[in-house]
Amino acid sequence: MKKSMFLSIILLLFASGPSFAQGLSGETEVGTDGNGEGFFSQYLFYDFKHVNVLTRYFWVNEVLQRGEFAVGPTLELNNGNVLKLQFGSTTDKDVMIAGTLIAKVKGRGILYIADGKLATQAGLPNTLYQKLFVSLTANGTWQFRIEYLQVGDDQSFLRIGPEYQHKLNNKQLFIAPQFDPIRKQVGGQIGVRFF
């Protein structure tokens, strides 16, 4: 019952969200860890004046691993910096607590994402995913990117590398080669963001 209600809300947002939201943006990623573990992920962000909504689905090896839905306040900080908080749940019954900080320091863009999942089922671990982008060029074409996943007490991955972004109208294509010193693997991601 909960799963059906969750999926109904997501479908309603897909259908009606763009009509009511002041801004709709998203990111679609395709990647690999170098061991044949391919993934596909898509985020959709609905921005209203003081509220933001996040929906996401994530596929690994052609199997839906998780759907997510969260909502929270959008806070304007000093100097045009923005903090977006999200609270929600996932299709595998985790509680989601996330946040995104969009900032500029000395003219360089910084984007930090923290996404925690609190397990509600006995024996399953909590997780913390973090992603940091630091602009290497004034126009943001080149970024330094770090992704980190903690599962329970274990570090699952630490992906470090550059990201190249190419803008086309209201879309941004990106390529991100990466090295994981924890798994000692080379991998990469490609994708598109839209605004």
The CATH number of whichever domain residue 29 belongs to comes to: 2.40.160.40
Q: How far, in Å, CA of 195 to CA of 125, rounded?
A: 34
Helical (H) or strand (E) element with 4: helix 2-20
Assign 61 to helix, strand or coil: coil
Q: How far, in Å, CA of 70 to CA of 62, rounded?
A: 24
Assign 20 to helix, strand or coil: helix
| pLDDT (tens place) for every residue of the chain, 195 residues total | 445 554 454 454 444 444 455 788 888 888 776 666 778 888 889 998 899 999 888 877 766 678 899 999 999 998 889 999 999 999 989 999 999 999 998 888 999 999 999 999 999 999 999 999 999 998 889 999 999 999 999 999 999 999 999 998 888 999 999 999 998 989 888 889 888
Q: How far, in Å, CA of 127 to CA of 142, rounded?
A: 29
Q: How far, in Å, CA of 116 to CA of 100, rounded?
A: 12
Structure pTM?
0.82
Q: How many domains does the chain have?
A: 1
Q: How far, in Å, CA of 5 to CA of 23, rounded?
A: 25
Domain that holds residue 26: 2-194
